[in-house]
């Protein structure tokens, strides 16, 4: 017993030692990581290490969340406007010629980078050159393909950048020549890939120009600390040209696992959680910190029109009519909005009366017309999706609905994300697939271009010249009423007449926001703008 | 036994060495746990490392281990080459590429990316290119974390995993060995049954369940420990304990059965007959001789704890290498997968080698021969 006593005493005292030394250290003040005071700091969960703060190269939402707060584009979206039109930011105004092919941008003259250097038009040109330079290998380089000769420069066919249609006219003015008319061109200049860059600093630091200490920006915040894979610290930029940020620091944590993030939220280690685990939504919804916001996201099922039985229009119609979208959103239980048109609610091009209505009786008629009066004769159908709890719920529900309403037996098959993508790329081995689209910029073209015959994202195998030409007309039209007409016609064609795909719902975004935080403005683009946020 | 036990005991320099090492290790541990930042910790650990290395060299020369070591290192080299080759090939065989994403990219853009990362070159050329860089110590650049070398991802995250692993390892010895000894010395009493019941629980309960229970109890019921993050000693407790429980239980069971074996041997009877105190018999005679199975298990254990920590790391949001272990494969981030695989292989090889060398110290009957 003596021994037992001794060893447990020994263990106890060791634990007590660790405990006391550490308790006294953390409990006395509310100093957070990097030594900042909690009362001056908004703590957010970035969910992952930002893959790259290099705005020419990055493609993910975490990186752009940080970039959007430390940088600014030539334009920004008017989040109060129902059509989310572009507003001036680094540019003060812009205009195009009548053909909508030549644009001029006047730039602000009062902007300074965090190292005191003045912002000018050449830095915008440098940014675009870097984005389009084949050596950069930027994924978003195609964003500017409509700029004259930009594509050829990106492909390496033209070596001389002066042949590309962008040039400075004086120190604070830009002129852009497009290949073809584009009415929403300024909207592209909100995107991080088109931000101006400091070529001198990139040449000086190489890939390390985005590290804290090297990085120079001009937004409301500046990058102070970046401990990779752990945390990032932004500090208010007092030399910012716009309204100064209300909270001095933003601490970005990188908690990947959603339930761990919620634990950290409950322990007061995080103020804002931008995404909730789907299985817990029904409980989390009851909490006072819960907030939601419609997103510009369409979740859809596409048909492989190159494969039996979906090569048959009547069969596609039958399936589309046999799916009650309300049932799906109910199963998901997170208040998503049932979809009508391809373009989601909250932006131009959305139509409340669009798409095929749920009608099981009529669906059966179409089945018979397609030659499948006997449902057992239908060839094998598979719903394919990438492994995910929500996708599974949707697939199981659609499987059950089609069984109930049409008597068809459907298999469901989940696959690992990259395996799934390579399957879609091969255009083989699936009959129904799921996909989603989140707005890059709130213009209907960003959504509808996806179904054109040349789009790499069109996995349906469906092609229509008429559709392509309607989309092209929409791009070059300045009059928004006329644009709406084109887009309405195009959506009618693909969703009602040819039924290549069925939009199921528009996803909502869900947050938990601690009550000590105010002024966190939710918006459909999910822009996380920290500068107006206050903390207690 | 005591005289034969250590090859060092006749040499005073080595006694001093052992004492200094002990003190340094203890201070190093305390300093790291309390979280003293900066120079002190670095100097302390580098001194420990240097001394350890010097000790190893001494041992190698003294015990004529050099040929043995050379052989083992060559074997390790071959093993690593096979691993790299296999992982390289398997990655290329997996469907889906590193730059396939939800937004399919135009062919022109893909061509630029392929050219930048030499993904358009023939496979053999890519392979030799990779090996060539590897020999120069260059693990390449991540495809996901653009512009960030794999080596810097590893050096940012691996120390955290190592820290977590080492604490858990120490904890598991601190709990496992005494528990095993106590259980064996009180053989067939309630102490024995009780502690082995606990150990059984430790072995069988999955760590994610233990983690959730701990979070529920200590973070939300009593609110004394944070449920996530890695920002100081308080934050370390739950992940370390959760990770340490299973190995502690295994060590306890191993120690107990080994002690039971030794306790019945003749020299223990002799020691008792000499009239030595039970404490001396147990610690000086029994324990030292029962640790060989525990030591055998330590090699795989070290690798297991450090690589197996990823669930714990994810649950407690510990910024270690765990998530890269999984996500690099999901992202098809070829250089990162290779880098991580290589690191774990080296870890496994080295820890097994260390264990073999420790054998020679603990038990002079074991001869390491080339």
Residues 6+ apart with CB under 8 A from A188: A143, A144, A194, A441
Query: Would you mind telling me the total number of residues written for chain A in this entry?
Result: 536
Please give, rounded to a whole number of angstroms, the shortest distance from the CA of A205 to a CA of chain B. 12
* Residue of chain B whose Cα is closest to the Cα of A4: B182
Average pLDDT over residues A459-471: 96
Give the single-character DSSP code of A50: -
pLDDT in tens, B120-136: 999 999 999 999 999 99
**Could you tell me if B102 lies within 8 Å of chain A, comparing CB atoms?**
yes
The rounded mean pLDDT for chain A is 92
Which candidate from B109, B185, B316 shows the least CB-CB separation from A139? B109
ipTM score of the complex? 0.88
Q: Is the peptide bond before B186 cis (omega within 30 degrees of 0)?
A: no
Q: With both helix axes pointing from N to C terminus, report the angle between A2-27 and B12-34 in degrees, rounded to the nearest 10.
A: 50
Q: A57 vs B146: CB contact, 8 Å cut-off?
A: yes
Q: Which residues in chain A are closer than 8 Å to B146, comparing Cβ atoms? A: 51-52, 54, 57-58, 207
Distance CA B203, CA B304 (A): 14
Averaged pLDDT for residues B297-303: 79
Distance in angstroms between the alpha carbons of the first and the last residue of chain A: 54
Query: Could you give the 3-state DSSP secondary structure of residue A71?
Result: coil
Residue numbers in B near A418 (CB within 8 A): 94-97, 100, 330-332
Interface contact flag, A418 B229, Cβ < 8 Å: no
CA dist B222 and B144 (Å) reads 40
Smallest Cα distance from B138 to chain A, Å: 16
Report how far residue B201's alpha carbon sits from residue B58's, in angstroms, rounded to the nearest whole number: 43
Shortest CA gap A283–chain B (Å): 17
Quick one: tokens of B219? 């973070």
Residues A7, B34: C-beta atoms closer than 8 Å: no
For chain A, percent helix, then strand, then coil, each to nearest 5? 35, 20, 40
Cα gap B289→B267, rounded to integer Å: 11
Condensed to tens digits (0 to 9), the pLDDT of residues A372-394 reads 999 899 999 999 999 999 999 99
Distance CA B338, CA B342 (A): 6
Which among A25, A151, A418 has the least Cβ separation from residue B108?
A151
pLDDT at A131: 97
Beta-bridge partner residues of A300: A435, A503
Give the pLDDT of residue A22.
46
Q: How confident is the model at residue A24 (pLDDT cuts 50, 70, 90)?
A: very low
Confidence band for A61, pLDDT divided at 50, 70 and 90: very high
Quick: pLDDT tens for B222-274: 999 999 999 988 999 999 999 999 999 999 999 999 999 998 889 899 988 98
Spell out which residues of chain B touch residue A136, defining contact as CB-CB under 8 Å: 112
pLDDT at position A302 is 97
- The confidence score (pLDDT) of residue B8 equals 45
Quick check: B148 contacting A, CB < 8 Å? yes
Q: Which residues contact B142 (CB under 8 A, 6 or more apart)?
A: B148, B149, B150, B153, B333, B335, B336
Say yes or no for a CB contact (<8 Å) between B116 and A457: no
Residue B190, burial from CB neighbour count under 10 angstroms (0-12, 13-18, 19+): exposed
Mean pLDDT of A402-418: 94
Long-range pairs for A468-474 at CB < 8 Å and ≥24 separation?
A: A471/A445, A472/A180, A474/A444, A474/A445, A474/A448
Sequence-distant (≥ 6) Cβ neighbours of residue B325 within 8 angstroms: B307, B310, B340
- CA–CA distance, B6 with B23 (Å, rounded to integer): 20
Residues A530, A69: Cα–Cα separation, whole Å: 7
**Do the chains contact at B115 and A154, CB–CB below 8 Å?**
no
Taking an 8 Å cut-off on Cβ atoms, the answer to whether A230 and B230 are in contact is yes
In this prediction, residue B19 has a pLDDT band, given cuts at 50, 70 and 90, of confident
Percentage of chain B surpassing pLDDT 70?
92
**Does residue A476 have a pLDDT over 70?**
yes
Which B residues, 282 through 341, put their C-beta within 8 Å of a C-beta on chain A?
282, 314-317, 319, 323, 327, 330-332
* Torsion angle of the four alpha carbons B117, B121, B127, B133, in this order, in degrees rounded to the nearest 10: -50
Q: Are A526 and A294 in contact (CB under 8 A)?
A: no
Cβ pair B255, B294 in contact under 8 A: yes
Specify the pLDDT at position A15. 52
Residue A71 predicted with pLDDT over 60 = yes
| pLDDT(A17) > 60 | no
Nearest by CB to B228, which of A23, A260, A421? A260
Is A22 close to B34, i.e. CB distance below 8 A?
yes
Of A135, A255, A422, the CB nearest to B317: A255
- Asked if A132 and B107 touch (Cβ cutoff 8 Å), the reply is no
Higher-pLDDT residue of B33, B54: B54
Tell me if residue A166 falls in helix, strand or coil: strand
Select from B102, B145, B228 the Cβ nearest to the Cβ of A255.
B228
User: Are residues B96 and A228, on separate chains, in Cβ contact within 8 Å?
Assistant: no
Between CA A444 and CA A415 the distance in angstroms is 30
Task: Please indicate whether, in this complex, the C-beta atoms of A54 and B315 are within 8 angstroms of each other.
Answer: no
What pairs with residue A45 in β-bridges? A253
Report the distance separating Cα A357 and Cα A162, nearest Å: 53
* pLDDT tens by residue, A119-128: 999 999 999 9
Task: Please give the helix or strand (H or E) that residue A366 lies within, else none.
Answer: helix A360-369
Quick one: DSSP state of residue A192?
A: G
The answer to whether the CB atoms of A142 and B108 lie below 8 A apart is yes
| Closest residue by Cα to residue A488 from A321, A344, A356, A341 | A341
State the pLDDT at residue A411: 94
Q: Which helix (H) or strand (E) holds A330?
A: helix A325-332
Higher pLDDT, B354 or A108: A108
Instruction: Give the Cα separation of B262 and B221 in Å (integer).
Output: 44
Distance (Å, whole) CA A503 – CA A331: 16
Retrieve residue B101's tokens: 């994403």
List CB contacts (< 8 A) between B181 and chain A. 3
Closest CB to A267: pick one of B100, B153, B227: B227
What residues contact residue A239 under an 8 Å CB cut-off, 6+ apart? A112, A114, A116
- Residue A47 C-alpha, separation from nearest chain B C-alpha, in angstroms: 10
* pLDDT single digits (tens) A487-499: 999 999 999 999 9
Residue A279 has pLDDT above 70, yes or no: yes
pLDDT at residue B116, rounded to an integer = 94
Contact flag A229-B153 (C-beta cutoff 8 Å): yes
Identify the pLDDT of residue A468: 97
Q: What pLDDT is recorded for position A23?
A: 43
With contacts defined as CB-CB under 8 Å, which chain B residues touch A423? 95
**Cross-chain residue pair B228–A25, CB shorter than 8 Å:** no
- Residues of chain A found within 8 Å of residue B230, distances taken between Cβ atoms: 230
**Is residue A50 within 8 Å of A62, Cβ to Cβ?**
yes
**Exposed e or buried b per residue across A326-335, where buried means at least 16 C-beta atoms within 10 angstroms of its C-beta:** eebbeebebe
Determine the pLDDT at residue B26. Answer: 82
**B100–chain A nearest CA distance, Å:** 7
Which of A155, A257, A266 is the closest to B220 by Cβ? A266
pLDDT digit string, tens, across residues A323-362: 999 999 999 988 899 999 999 999 999 999 999 999 999 9
Residues near A278 by beta carbon (within 8 Å), at least 6 away in sequence: A332, A334, A389, A390, A393
Rounded to the nearest 5°, which phi and psi values hold at A44?
-115, 160
Give me the pLDDT at residue B256, please.
93
Distance CA A452, CA A459 (A): 10
* Three-state DSSP class for residue A424: helix
Strands A410-415 and A381-386, bridge-based pairing: parallel
Nearest-Cα distance to chain A for B76, in Å, is: 31
pLDDT of residue B85: 96
Contact by Cβ (8 Å): B174, A11: yes
A-to-B residue pairs, Cβ atoms closer than 8 angstroms: 174
Work out the average pLDDT over B208-228: 94
The pLDDT tens digits of the residues spanning A130-180 come to: 999 999 999 999 999 999 999 999 999 999 999 999 999 999 999 999 999
Length of chain B: 370
Q: Are the beta carbons of B323 and A256 separated by less than 8 Å?
A: yes
- Which DSSP state fits A522? -
Q: What is the mean pLDDT of the segment spanning A208-228?
A: 97
Return the HEC string of chain B. CHHHHCCCCCCHHHHHHHHHHHHHHHHHHHHHHHCCCCHHHHHHHHHHHHHHHHHHHHHHHHCCCHHHHHHHHHHHHHHHHHHHHHHHHHHHHCCCCCCCCCCCCCHHHHHHHHHHCCCCCCHHHHHHHHHHHHHCCCCCECCCCCCCEHHHHHHHHHHHHHHHHHHHHHHHHHHHHHHHHHHHHCCCCHHHHHHHHHHHHHHHCCHHHHHHHHHHHHHHHCCCCCCCCCCCHHHHHHHHHHHHHHHHHHHHHHHHHHHHHHHCCHHHHHHHHCCCCHHHHHHHHHHHHHHHHHHHHHHHHHHHHHHHCHHHHHHCCCCCCHHHHHHHHHCCCHHHHHHHHHHHHHHHHHHHHHHHHHHHHHCCCCCCCC
Tell me: pLDDT of B2 over 50.
Answer: no
3-state secondary structure of A456: coil
**Residue B6: band (very low, low, confident or very high) from pLDDT cuts 50, 70, 90:** very low
User: Could you tell me the two tokens for A498?
Assistant: 């040819």
pLDDT of residue B35: 62
Q: What is the pLDDT of residue B3?
A: 46
Question: Confidence class of residue A20 from pLDDT cuts 50, 70 and 90?
Answer: very low
CB burial class (10 A; 0-12, 13-18, 19+) of residue A193? buried
Percent of chain A scoring above 90 in pLDDT: 87
Residue ranges with strand state E in A254-398: 272-273, 290-303, 337-338, 381-386
Distance between A369 CA and the closest CA of chain B, angstroms: 35
pLDDT of residue B307: 64
Residue B129 has phi, psi (to 5 degrees) of -60, -45
Candidate from A23, A207, A256 with C-beta closest to B314: A256
| Contact flag B100-A264 (C-beta cutoff 8 Å) | no
pLDDT in tens, B301-359: 886 787 668 889 999 999 999 889 889 999 999 999 999 999 988 888 888 888 877 77
Q: Determine contact: B69 vs chain A, CB below 8 A.
A: no
pLDDT at A6: 54
- Look up tokens 């590893």; give the residue: B154
Q: Which two tokens mark B194?
A: 């009780």
- Say if the Cβ atoms of B227 and A228 lie within 8 Å: no
| Contacts A456 to B, Cβ<8 Å | 104-107
- pLDDT band at A531; cut points 50, 70, 90: very high
The pair of structure tokens assigned to A334 is: 């997170």
CB B263 within 8 A of CB B278: no
B59 — pLDDT class (breaks 50, 70, 90)? confident
Q: Which residue has the higher pLDDT, A185 or B1?
A: A185
Kindly tell me if the per-residue pLDDT of A13 is higher than 80: no
How many Å apart are CA A439 and CA B103, to the nearest integer? Answer: 11
pLDDT of B10: 56
Closest alpha carbon to A210 in A44, A55, A43, A61: A55
Instruction: Place B288 in a pLDDT band, splitting at 50, 70 and 90.
Output: confident
**Closest listed residue to residue A410, CA positions, set A380, A371, A372, A368:** A380
Residue in A with minimal Cα distance to B149:
A207
> Is B231 in contact with A58 (Cβ distance < 8 A)?
no
- C-alpha angle A150/A154/A156, rounded to 5°? 115
Looking at beta carbons, which residues of chain B come within 8 Å of A263? 215, 219, 227-228
B61 or A461: whose pLDDT is higher?
A461
User: What mean pLDDT comes out for the span B93-119?
Assistant: 91
Residue of A nearest to B98 (CA): A418
Q: H/E/C letters for each residue in A102-120?
A: EEEEEECCCCECCCCCECC
- Residues 6 or more apart from A488 whose CB is under 8 A from it? A349, A351, A354
Q: What chain A residue is nearest to B30 in terms of C-alpha separation?
A: A18
């Amino acid at each position: 017993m003596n021994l037992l006593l001794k060893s447990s005493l020994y263990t106890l005292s060791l634990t007590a030692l660790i405990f006391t030394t550490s308790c006294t250290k953390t409990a006395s003040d509310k100093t957070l990581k990097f030594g900042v005071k909690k009362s001056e700091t908004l703590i957010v969960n970035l969910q992952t290490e930002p893959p790259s703060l290099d705005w020419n190269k990055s493609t993910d939402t975490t990186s752009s969340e940080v970039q959007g707060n430390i940088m600014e584009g030539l334009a920004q979206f008017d989040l109060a406007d129902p059509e989310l039109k572009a507003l001036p930011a680094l540019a003060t105004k812009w205009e195009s010629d009548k053909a909508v092919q030549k644009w001029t941008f006047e730039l602000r003259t009062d902007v300074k980078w965090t190292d005191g250097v003045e912002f000018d038009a050449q830095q915008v040109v440098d940014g675009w050159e870097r984005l389009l330079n084949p050596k950069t290998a930027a994924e978003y380089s195609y964003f500017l393909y409509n700029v004259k000769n930009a594509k050829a420069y990106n492909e390496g066919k033209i070596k001389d950048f002066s042949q590309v249609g962008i040039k400075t006219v004086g120190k604070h003015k830009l002129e852009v020549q497009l290949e073809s008319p584009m009415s929403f061109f300024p909207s592209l200049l909100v995107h991080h890939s088109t931000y101006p860059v400091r070529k001198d600093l990139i040449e000086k630091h190489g890939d390390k120009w985005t590290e804290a200490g090297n990085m120079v920006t001009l937004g409301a915040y500046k990058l102070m600390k970046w401990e990779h894979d752990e945390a990032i610290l932004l500090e208010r930029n007092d030399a910012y040209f716009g309204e100064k940020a209300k909270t001095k620091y933003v601490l970005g944590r990188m908690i990947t696992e959603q339930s761990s993030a919620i634990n950290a939220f409950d322990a007061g280690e995080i103020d804002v959680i931008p995404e909730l685990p789907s299985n817990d939504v029904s409980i989390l919804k009851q909490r006072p910190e819960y907030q939601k916001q419609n997103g510009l996201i369409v979740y859809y099922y596409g048909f492989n029109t190159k494969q039996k039985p979906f090569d048959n229009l009547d069969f596609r119609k039958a399936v589309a009519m046999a799916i009650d979208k309300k049932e799906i959103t109910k199963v998901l239980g997170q208040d998503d909005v049932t979809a009508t048109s391809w373009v989601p609610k909250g932006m131009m091009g959305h139509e409340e009366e669009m798409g095929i209505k749920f009608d099981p009786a009529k669906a059966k008629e179409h089945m018979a017309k397609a030659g499948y009066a006997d449902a057992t004769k239908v060839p094998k159908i598979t719903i394919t999706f990438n492994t995910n709890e929500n996708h599974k719920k949707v697939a199981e529900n659609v499987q059950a609905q089609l069984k109930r309403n049409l008597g068809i037996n459907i298999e469901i098959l989940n696959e690992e994300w990259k395996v799934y993508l390579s399957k879609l790329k091969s255009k083989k081995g699936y009959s129904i697939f799921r996909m989603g689209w989140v707005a890059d910029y709130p213009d209907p073209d960003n959504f509808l271009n996806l179904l054109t015959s040349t789009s790499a994202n069109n996995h349906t195998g469906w092609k229509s010249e008429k559709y392509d030409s309607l989309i092209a007309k929409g791009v070059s039209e300045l009059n928004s009423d006329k644009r709406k007409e084109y887009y309405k016609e195009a959506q009618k064609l693909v969703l009602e007449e040819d039924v290549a795909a069925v939009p199921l719902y528009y996803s909502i975004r869900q947050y938990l926001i601690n009550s000590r935080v105010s002024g966190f403005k939710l918006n459909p683009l999910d822009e996380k703008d920290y500068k107006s946020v206050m903390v207690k | 036994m005591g005289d034969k036990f250590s090859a060092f005991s006749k040499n005073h320099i080595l006694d001093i060495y052992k004492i200094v090492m002990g003190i340094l290790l203890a201070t190093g541990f305390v300093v790291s746990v309390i979280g003293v930042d900066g120079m002190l910790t670095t100097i302390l650990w580098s001194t420990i490392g240097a001394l350890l290395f010097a000790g190893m060299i001494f041992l190698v020369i003294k015990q004529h281990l050099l040929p043995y070591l050379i052989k083992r290192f060559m074997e390790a080299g071959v093993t690593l080459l096979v691993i790299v080759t296999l992982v390289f090939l398997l990655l290329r065989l997996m469907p889906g590429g590193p730059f396939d994403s939800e937004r399919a990219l135009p062919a022109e853009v893909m061509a630029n990316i392929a050219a930048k990362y030499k993904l358009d070159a023939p496979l053999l050329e890519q392979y030799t290119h990779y090996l060539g860089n590897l020999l120069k110590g260059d693990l390449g650049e991540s495809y996901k974390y653009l512009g960030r070398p794999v080596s810097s991802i590893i050096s940012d995250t691996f120390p955290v995993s190592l820290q977590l692993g080492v604490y858990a390892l120490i904890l598991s010895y601190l709990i496992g060995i005494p528990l095993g000894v106590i259980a064996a010395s009180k053989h067939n009493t309630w102490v024995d049954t009780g502690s082995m019941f606990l150990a059984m629980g430790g072995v069988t309960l999955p760590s994610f369940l233990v983690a959730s229970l701990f979070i529920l109890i200590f973070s939300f019921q009593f609110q004394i420990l944070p449920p996530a993050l890695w920002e100081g000693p308080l934050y370390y407790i739950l992940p370390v304990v959760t990770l340490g429980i299973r190995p502690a239980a295994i060590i306890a069971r191993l120690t107990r059965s080994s002690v039971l074996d030794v306790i019945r041997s003749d020299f223990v009877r002799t020691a008792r007959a000499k009239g030595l105190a039970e404490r001396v018999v147990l610690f000086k005679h029994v324990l030292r001789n029962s640790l060989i199975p525990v030591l055998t298990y330590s090699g795989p254990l070290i690798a297991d704890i450090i690589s197996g920590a990823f669930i714990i790391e994810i649950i407690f949001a510990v910024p270690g290498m765990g998530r890269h272990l999984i996500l690099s494969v999901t992202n098809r981030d070829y250089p990162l997968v290779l880098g991580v695989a290589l690191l774990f292989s080296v870890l496994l090889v080295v820890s097994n080698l260390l264990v073999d060398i420790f054998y020679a110290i603990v038990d002079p009957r074991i001869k390491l021969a080339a």
